[in-house]
Amino acid sequence: MTVAVPTSLSDALAAIAQNPAAQIIQGGTDLMVEINFNRRKPTDVIALRRVLELREWSIAKDGSTITIGAGLPYAQMEDDEIARLVPALAQAARTVGSPQIRAAGSIGGNLGTCSPAGDALPVLSALDAIVHLRSSTGARNISVHEFMVGVKRNARAPDEIIVSVTLPIVTGWQGYAKVGVRNAMVISIASCCLAVDRTNSAIRIALGAVGPTIIRCRATEAWLTSQLDLSSVNTVSTNLLKEFGDRVAQEAKPIDDHRSTAVYRRHAVSTLAKRLLTRANTP
């Protein structure tokens, strides 16, 4: 039984290379629940809490992208600079759990768990984020769409550490909305990220908690692009809004489970998407 608490990324990579079966822990807000309830009993653990490199964030020299360390707690994404550059991510971060959870939980952990209800994930999907993985022998930069393989399954190899994610900095409205049983401390029953990208004349929509993994509404995006002038604020007619909601609902693939029903989820995700489209077009 060992607990390694490395203080640099290279030491952490060496530790996982030596023992790929070891369990990685960052904030512990997913993993400790599993351990407390005896669903997992790790023998070896590598804790990343003291690897400061994983808590950094930076903007590319040309200002086109932002890279966020896998271990940066949500609390540090809620406001200030990150919120200004990627508002949808800040909004998603603010909806996570409670202050105690946001002081510990991270994007690395959200990706590591890869729950379809993970609140950072629809934002990463809508913005076509790149996930940076490292092992002691190399590095892989893969699209978040390739990274998320299925319900709580991802493309990380056992000896890899998720180091960071890179998101584009775009002009245009973006937002995140979710529904749960109450406002504080709630896992999403349905969620949606909508991002207008004026630079590339595109609109991007991703749905959470309504499928085995995050769903990108590519058909609806293509249709909507033909209906709106993405370089300005549009008057969204009631008919257009209704058709938009119906198309989003069509692309969702929800199921019944202990948190909600498929019927409600489909309705909720369509309502959330319509709300976001309305906000995006409010001058």
Partner 1 sequence: MTPNTEVYQLNVNGKKCEVRDAWIGESLLYVLRERLGLPGAKGACEQGECGSCTVIMDDQAVCSCLVMAATAIDTEISTVEGLSVDGKLTDVQDAFVNEGAVQCGFCTPGLVVAVHNLLDTSPTPTDIEIKEAISGNICRCTGYGRIFEAVRSAAATRQETNK
Per CB under 6 A, residues contacting ligand FAD are 23-31, 33, 48, 70, 95-97, 101, 104-106, 108-110, 112-113, 118-119, 156, 161-162, 185, 187
Residues 11-30 that bind partner 1 (CB under 8 A): 25, 27-29
Does position 98 interact with partner 1 (CB under 8 A)? The reply is: yes
| Residue pair 175/158 in contact by the 8 Å Cβ criterion | no
Q: Tell me how far apart the alpha carbons of residues 24 and 3 are, in angstroms, rounded to a whole number.
A: 10
Helix (H, G, I), strand (E, B) or coil at 217: coil
Helix (H, G, I), strand (E, B) or coil at 94: helix
- Smallest distance from ligand FAD to CB 133, Å: 8
- Smallest distance from ligand FAD to CB 261, Å: 20
- Pull the structure tokens for residue 278: 């309305």
CB nearer to ligand FAD: pick between 135 and 281? 135
CB nearer to ligand FAD: pick between 57 and 223? 57
- Smallest distance from ligand FAD to CB 253, Å: 19
Residue 184 binds which one of ligand FAD, partner 1, none, with CB within 5 to 8 A depending on kind?
partner 1
Size of the site for partner 1 (CB under 8 A): 34
CB nearer to ligand FAD: pick between 162 and 195? 162
Does position 241 interact with partner 1 (CB under 8 A)? The reply is: no
- Pull the structure tokens for residue 283: 């001058």
Does position 100 interact with partner 1 (CB under 8 A)? The reply is: yes
Q: Tell me how far apart the alpha carbons of residues 222 and 251 are, in angstroms, rounded to a whole number.
A: 13
CA-wise closest residue to 72 among 56, 84, 92: 56
Helix (H, G, I), strand (E, B) or coil at 84: helix
Does position 36 interact with partner 1 (CB under 8 A)? The reply is: yes
Q: Tell me how far apart the alpha carbons of residues 111 and 156 are, in angstroms, rounded to a whole number.
A: 10
Segment near partner 1 (CB under 8 A); pick from 91-99, 126-134, 143-151, 262-270: 91-99
Residues 140-169 that bind partner 1 (CB under 8 A): none
Q: Tell me how far apart the alpha carbons of residues 68 and 169 are, in angstroms, rounded to a whole number.
A: 12
CB nearer to ligand FAD: pick between 154 and 220? 154
Residue 113 binds which one of ligand FAD, partner 1, none, with CB within 5 to 8 A depending on kind?
ligand FAD
Does position 7 interact with partner 1 (CB under 8 A)? The reply is: yes
Q: Tell me how far apart the alpha carbons of residues 20 and 69 are, in angstroms, rounded to a whole number.
A: 21
Amino acid at 128: D
Strand segments (E) across 187-231: 190-197, 202-208, 215-216
Backbone angles phi, psi at 176, to 5 degrees: -135, 140
| Residue from 63, 138, 184, 239 binding partner 1 (CB under 8 A) | 184
- Smallest distance from partner 1 to CB 172, Å: 28
Amino acid at 38: N
Q: Tell me how far apart the alpha carbons of residues 162 and 184 are, in angstroms, rounded to a whole number.
A: 28
Binding site for partner 1 (CB under 8 A): 1-7, 25, 27-29, 31-33, 35-37, 41-43, 45, 47, 49-50, 75, 97-101, 103-104, 184-185
